[in-house]
């Protein structure tokens, strides 16, 4: 996020933006977020302020169009809310830049935890992801809505040298090599489309065994196998013991639900290792943006150093042949 955006979102901009949706600034509670400014309004509506350095108004509108399409076809997701004049997004000027303000129904339930993330919930997550992929095959942006970008058009992918840890040329080269490998995968209707790209435990809530997904800010055109790989990737990040057993059990439940809505096929499942490598090299390259390396504990620093060496030596994130789940 642009550092100047924090200073630009003053009380006047906040009040003006919330007013477009009839929301009271006094009831707006800031929520933790990475790339946007997010507010919980009375526990019912989530208001989001997106700085123009991150997304344009047109890009936000394209995200909302896709979410509305998914919600209208049965996907349990946080629906966009219309403002007082019927529009779903508004531009609020802030100096020479602006914020795009949008709002969503707050997802039902609570964040996933070890207590509520049962095999049935994991299977349900897989089913919901499968629904989004099945529907993506026939999605056409509404009239006047621009097409969402390919994942590799995202700034982190298009210009990684601007964001990767300074001096870490080895990780940058590894990341670019992984991108080149993914570029060789043929993009077809059955394996490629507009996807969420970030289905991790921070982007869905659980209630009575049902889930509601949200945060399509990073949605882009990419491979379905990458999208189904991400819940497992984030589930296993930081896990050091019994990795194969835990990953196998988790993915067995995830793909069981997925198959109720869509079928990837053996070849696409066999590519999951490539997508793990792509995401892991990206996150390691960006680590300086999200982690205080100077004040990290010796134990954590040692684990990071060990995993970095493993990545650069080509050791897989998970030594599993995912074709067995076809």
Is there a single domain that holds both residue 152 and residue 218? Answer: yes
Is there a single domain that holds both residue 95 and residue 129? Answer: no
Instruction: Name the one residue in this structure whose structure tokens are 């936000």.
Output: 60
- Three-class SS of residue 322? helix
Is there a single domain that holds both residue 202 and residue 82? Answer: no
User: What does the pLDDT look like over 149-202, one tens digit per residue?
Assistant: 999 999 999 999 999 988 899 999 999 999 999 999 999 999 999 999 999 999
Q: How many helices (H) and strands (E) does the chain have?
A: 12, 9
d(CA 198, CA 228): 9
CATH number at residue 55: 3.30.200.20
CATH number at residue 187: 3.90.1200.10
d(CA 325, CA 269): 8
Q: Domain for residue 112, yes or no?
A: no
Q: Domain for residue 113, yes or no?
A: no
Confidence (pLDDT) at 304: 85
Domain that holds residue 58: 4-105
Total domains in the chain come to: 2
Is there a single domain that holds both residue 143 and residue 251? Answer: yes
Of 53, 72, 105, which residue is a domain's last?
105
Q: Domain for residue 129, yes or no?
A: yes
Is there a single domain that holds both residue 286 and residue 151? Answer: yes
Q: Domain for residue 195, yes or no?
A: yes
Is there a single domain that holds both residue 133 and residue 256? Answer: yes
Residue 113: count other Cβ atoms within 10 Å of its Cβ: 9
Q: Domain for residue 31, yes or no?
A: yes
Alpha helices for 138-260 (secondary structure H): 155-158, 169-183, 224-236, 243-258
Of 74, 105, 136, which residue is a domain's last?
105
Of 36, 70, 105, which residue is a domain's last?
105
Q: Domain for residue 114, yes or no?
A: no
pTM: 0.96
User: What does the pLDDT look like over 290-317, one tens digit per residue?
Assistant: 777 788 888 888 888 888 999 999 999 9
**Average pLDDT of 243-254?**
98
CB-based contact 182:220 (threshold 8 Å): no
Instruction: Give the rounded percent of residues in the chain with a pLDDT score beyond 90.
Output: 87
Is there a single domain that holds both residue 84 and residue 143? Answer: no
Is there a single domain that holds both residue 170 and residue 311? Answer: yes
């Amino acid at each position: 996020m642009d550092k100047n955006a924090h200073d630009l979102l003053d009380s006047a901009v906040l009040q003006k933006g919330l007013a477009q949706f009839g929301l009271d600034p006094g009831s707006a509670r800031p929520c933790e977020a990475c790339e946007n400014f997010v507010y919980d309004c009375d526990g019912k509506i989530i208001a989001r302020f997106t700085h123009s350095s991150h997304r344009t108004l047109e890009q936000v509108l394209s995200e909302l169009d896709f979410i509305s399409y998914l919600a209208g076809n049965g996907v349990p997701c946080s629906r966009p809310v219309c403002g007082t004049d019927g529009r779903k997004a508004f531009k609020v000027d802030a100096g020479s830049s602006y914020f795009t303000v949008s709002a969503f129904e707050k997802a039902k339930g609570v964040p996933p935890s070890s207590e509520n993330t049962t095999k049935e919930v994991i299977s349900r997550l897989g089913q919901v992801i499968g629904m989004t992929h099945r529907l993506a095959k026939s999605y056409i942006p509404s009239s006047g809505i621009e097409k969402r970008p390919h994942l590799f058009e995202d700034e982190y992918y298009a210009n990684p040298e601007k964001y990767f840890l300074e001096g870490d040329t080895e990780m940058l080269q590894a990341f670019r090599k992984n991108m080149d490998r993914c570029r060789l995968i043929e993009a077809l209707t059955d394996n490629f489309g507009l996807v969420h790209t970030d289905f991790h435990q921070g982007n869905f809530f659980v209630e009575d065994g049902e889930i509601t997904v949200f945060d399509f800010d990073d949605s882009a055109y990419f491979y379905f196998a990458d999208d189904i790989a991400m819940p497992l990737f984030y589930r296993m990040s930081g896990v050091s013991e019994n990795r194969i057993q835990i990953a196998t059990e988790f993915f067995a439940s995830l793909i069981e639900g997925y198959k109720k809505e869509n079928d990837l096929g053996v070849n696409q499942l066999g590519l999951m290792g490539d997508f793990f490598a792509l995401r892991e090299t990206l996150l390691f390259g960006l680590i300086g943006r999200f982690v205080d390396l100077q004040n990290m504990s010796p134990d954590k620093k040692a684990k990071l150093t060990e995993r970095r060496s493993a990545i650069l030596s080509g050791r897989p994130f998970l030594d599993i042949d995912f074709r067995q789940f076809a």
